[in-house]
Chains A and B, each alone.
Chain A
């Protein structure tokens, strides 16, 4: 009977890991400000979340035909998710006219301003941006 509990422990560990990845993905999607940043968090949920949840279910199911189908769902998602991500990013790159105002670029500008002349105007501006 002990091995069944071991299997339950492994399956619950995988499932909880997958759920935690999904929670992180939803948190990231709500936390970031730009669509291209949000895609980063959403893609993590699409790959790692699906992988761990389905791995846990495969461990519960054991080796059977349904496990093969669950594995096929993982395989399909790992092929389809990058494609849909590429489509969404292309849509965003095509339609967003203020893509040059990404936060990364602004931050690199702030670092550049700090490294260069350290005038009080730059410092005040960077603090206002923060």
Chain B
């Protein structure tokens, strides 16, 4: 009969392998993604799965300090997503020569709403 230690090791190893496969798939998506937002979403998900892998490995190797690394990785991943969003918003607004405020978003959304309304009207 398999010991409990071996059972835990098989479980963690399988989980880490599946997560590694999923990371490769979302890396492909982050390369393929047609828009910047798709890439940022894929990179955010890669970060999530990396955090899971680090947490599983901390239990697998019984190393307690890996949990701290996991916590810090979560913070840095969040910071990276926020900075990427800010940077790409700034790049887009600089190309369009606009101010970085919420009025730009509302203007864009109202314009699209007007376009959809016109589309219905023409039908």
Contacts and interface: CB of A to CB of B under 8 A. Distances in A.
Interface of A: 4-5, 8, 11-12, 15-16, 18-19, 22-23, 25-26, 29-30, 35, 38-39, 42, 45-46, 49-50, 53-54, 57, 60-61, 65-66, 69-70, 72-73, 76-77, 80, 83-84, 87-97, 99-100, 105, 109, 113
Nearest to B98: A94
Contacts of B123: 109, 113
Contacts of B52: 18, 22, 49-50, 53-54
A109 B78 CA distance: 38
A70 B49 contact: no
Interface residues of B, number: 56
Contact of B22 (A22, A66, A70, A87): A22
B8 A39 contact: no
Secondary structure class of chain B's binding surface, majority of residues: helix
B112 A100 contact: yes
Contacts of B64: 65-66
A73 B44 contact: no
Give the dominant DSSP class at A's interface: helix
Given A23-B18, A29-B42, A91 B113 contact: no
A84 B44 contact: yes
Interface of B: 4, 7-8, 11, 15, 18-19, 22, 25-26, 29, 33, 35-38, 40-42, 44-45, 48-49, 51-52, 55-56, 58-59, 64, 67-68, 70-71, 74-75, 78, 81-82, 85-86, 88-89, 92-93, 104-105, 108-109, 112-113, 115-116, 119-120, 123
B67 A84 contact: no
Contact of A70 (B19, B67, B89): B67
A92 B35 contact: yes
Given A30-B25, A69-B71, A73-B51, A90 B89 contact: yes
